[in-house]
Each structure stands twice: as C-alpha cells, then as structure tokens.
C-alpha cells in the first residue's frame, strides 16, 4: 500500500541526494522525502505496522536497516540515524508524506543544528568488565578461602566453593565501584559526549565496571584506543570491548514533536558486535 505509511531510516541534508541506489529491509526500495527546508528523510513505503518476527529474523532486519544508515553516513559524512521500526502513518487529514514533510520543515532549526554537531562524528562502544577470579586474587578473604578449599576432600568442597564464589564476587564488585569514576573520567577526556548504558548481561565470571556509547570525531578514535590499551596494561584482570565506529545512533534522537505511531522497542544492532539492548551497568554518576 504505497503511501499508507513510511518507514524511516535517517534524516539527511536534502541537496546531497541519495548515495546511489539503496535498498532497505527485505529489499524494499529506499527513497527520499524532501522538504522545502532543504532536509530529507530516507524512507521506504510501508504498511502502518512495525516489523515483528522471531529473534533471528529481527536481527536480519536490523542489519539491513543499519546498512542503509551506514551507507548514507559514509557517503555524506553526517546523518541523523533513526532506530528500527520508526513508522510515520497517514492520518485523517494528511498523508504520511505530508506529515513527515511538514515535520521536517517545522523542525528545520533543531535538525540542522544536530546534523552540524554530528558531522564527521562517530559512535564507539566501550565496555569494561573484570574477570572475577583474576581480579579477586589479591583479596585476603578470598585467598584464605581458596587455601582452605585446597585442603578439603572433594565431598566437602561444594559449600566452600559457593562461599568462595560469593566472596570473590563481592570483592570484585567493590573493586569495580572504586575503579568506575577514574575509568569514566579517562574515557570522557577523549569524548565529546557519553551515553551510559543501564543494563548489562556480562558473560559468566565477569563483573561489569562500565558500558557506554562514546561520541568522538573520526580523528579521535586512535587516541581513545590508546587510552584503553593503557588501561588494559594497568589492569590485567580487565576485559575491554571497543566496538565501532558507527553512525551516532545514541546521540541523534530526532522525532520530538512527531507522533510516529512507531513501536521502536527494537534498539540499534548490527553486524560486528553491535548490541541491540544498550547493555551496560548502572553505576554512580
């Protein structure tokens, strides 16, 4: 149903045009909705319902969505990426195109400001965890329990092993709390902006310290990588994930004032380790 709704990928400067022929989710043709303001939205014609399906199918859609955004971003140097399943519906008095075009015109000042602020900026993901066993080696209580455990016969070890696990976990969580402020400060030194993630699902045996999206200029990627390498050298028990660069999804919320009818619970994800859940850790500011 052409024109019934529009699935939105990104907002771009209209005069630059499409970066070649683009196809989006499930091969759907991507086109421009241009406004008199000189801004445009990358969209495909859609039904007025979000994409829904099994997890594996959703992951495929997210990769296809991200591919459109990233191709536009690489070609243009600046886009405002939109998260998955943002759908603008037509209404009783205006079509989806008319509503989207009107919003682009009404929001011109703020959208241009965001496009300019994000030009040649990238989003990176930094996640730091601690290996529980390695980080707890210097904890006196845990060391005493390990020594006691070594002397016990196999049949008596289960309770003590559980006690050791809890001791290590508590010791490393306290260490993570102590490390957090300094590590955040060191990362922030190289960032223009940070967005902390508030949920985390670390692998078994790992204790989270921090997880955040970091906004840097393209020229700042290497400096942040060097800082993280220094942190790794100083903290052998640290496990550091440094992902990206990607379009600045976490710094480009754009749909203020537009009722999209979207169900956008599916957050950004893509290939090469992108995390849809915004996983992270809730620590003190």
DSSP H or E segment with residue 243: strand 238-246
96-133 in b/e form (b: 16+ CB < 10 A) is: bbebbbebbeebeeebeebbeebeebbbbbbbbbbbbe
Q: What is the pLDDT of residue 265?
A: 36
Q: Is the pTM of this model over 0.85?
A: no
| List of residues 6+ apart from 110 with CB closer than 8 A | 256
3-state secondary structure of 120: coil
Percent of the chain at pLDDT exceeding 70: 76
Residue 46 maps to a domain: yes
Distance CA 173, CA 73 (A): 39
Asked whether residue 166 carries a pLDDT value surpassing 80, the answer given is no
Q: Nearest 5°: phi and psi at 139?
A: -80, 120
Strands 39-46 and 121-131, how do they pair?
unpaired
Residue 64, both tokens: 């296809």
Domain limits at 143? 121-249
Residue 174, both tokens: 């306290």
Q: Which of 63, 84, 118 is the last residue of a domain?
A: 118
Of 259, 205, 273, 247, nearest to 68 (Cα)? 247
Residue 73 maps to a domain: yes
Clarify whether residues 32 and 19 are in a common domain.
yes
Of 180, 178, 175, nearest to 133 (Cα)? 175
Clarify whether residues 241 and 146 are in a common domain.
yes
Q: What is the pLDDT of residue 133?
A: 84
Clarify whether residues 126 and 96 are in a common domain.
no
Structural domain count of the chain? 2
Clarify whether residues 133 and 55 are in a common domain.
no
Clarify whether residues 66 and 17 are in a common domain.
yes
Residue of 174 and 233 predicted with greater confidence: 233
Which residue reads 């300094």 in tokens? 182
Distance CA 8, CA 31 (A): 10
CB 30 within 8 A of CB 9: yes
Clarify whether residues 215 and 165 are in a common domain.
yes
Q: What is the pLDDT of residue 77?
A: 87
Residue 279 maps to a domain: no
Residue of 8 and 200 predicted with greater confidence: 8
Residue 273 maps to a domain: no
Residue 140 maps to a domain: yes
Clarify whether residues 235 and 168 are in a common domain.
yes
Length of the chain in terms of residues written: 285
* CA separation, residue 135 to residues 158, 203, 230 (Å): 22, 15, 17
What's the pLDDT tens digit per position in 242-265? 999 999 999 987 766 555 544 333
Clarify whether residues 86 and 190 are in a common domain.
no
What's the pLDDT tens digit per position in 60-118? 999 999 999 999 998 888 999 998 999 999 888 899 999 999 999 999 999 999 999 99
Clarify whether residues 29 and 140 are in a common domain.
no
Residue 130 maps to a domain: yes
Q: Which of 50, 83, 118 is the last residue of a domain?
A: 118
């Amino acid at each position: 149903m052409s024109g019934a709704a529009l699935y939105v990928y990104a907002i771009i400067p209209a005069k630059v045009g499409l970066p070649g022929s683009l196809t989006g989710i499930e091969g759907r043709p991507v086109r421009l909705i241009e406004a008199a303001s000189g801004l445009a939205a990358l969209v495909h014609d859609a039904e007025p319902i979000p994409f829904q399906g099994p997890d594996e199918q959703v992951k495929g859609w997210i990769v296809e969505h991200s591919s459109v955004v990233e191709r536009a971003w690489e070609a243009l140097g600046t886009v405002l990426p939109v998260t998955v399943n943002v759908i603008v519906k037509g209404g009783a008095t205006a079509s989806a195109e008319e509503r989207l075009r009107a919003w682009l015109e009404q929001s011109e000042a703020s959208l241009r400001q965001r496009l300019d602020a994000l030009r040649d900026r990238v989003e990176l993901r930094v996640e730091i965890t601690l290996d529980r066993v390695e980080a707890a080696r210097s904890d006196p209580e845990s060391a005493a329990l390990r020594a006691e455990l070594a002397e016990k016969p196999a049949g008596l070890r289960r309770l003590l092993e559980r006690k050791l696990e809890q001791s290590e976990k508590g010791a490393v969580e306290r260490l993570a709390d102590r490390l957090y402020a300094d590590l955040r400060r060191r990362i922030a030194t190289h960032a223009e902006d940070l967005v902390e993630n508030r949920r985390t699902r670390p692998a078994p045996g790992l204790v989270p310290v921090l997880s955040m999206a970091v906004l840097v200029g393209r020229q700042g990627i290497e400096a942040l990588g060097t800082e993280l390498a220094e942190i790794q050298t100083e903290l052998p028990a640290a496990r550091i994930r440094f992902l990206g660069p990607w379009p600045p999804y976490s710094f480009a919320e754009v749909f203020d004032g537009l009722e999209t009818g979207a169900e956008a619970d599916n957050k950004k994800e893509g290939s090469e380790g992108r995390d849809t859940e915004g996983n992270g850790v809730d620590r003190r500011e």
